[in-house]
Amino acid sequence: MSEARAILPELLDRVLGGDEVTLTRHGVPVAVMVRPDTLRLRRADQALNRAAQVHEILQQGRRSSLNATPGVSRKRAESLVNHVQSSRSRG
Q: Could you read off the pLDDT of 64-75 as tens digits, one per residue?
A: 887 767 688 889
Which residues of the chain form beta strands (DSSP E)?
Answer: 21-25, 28-33
Split at pLDDT 50, 70, 90, the class of 47 is very high
Please say if the pLDDT value at position 91 is more than 70. Answer: no
Q: How far apart are CA 65 and CA 56, in angstroms?
A: 16
> Per-domain residue ranges for the chain?
1-34, 36-91
When pLDDT is averaged across residues 22-32 and rounded to a whole number, the result is 93
In contact, 10 and 33? CB cutoff 8 Å: no
pTM across the whole model = 0.53
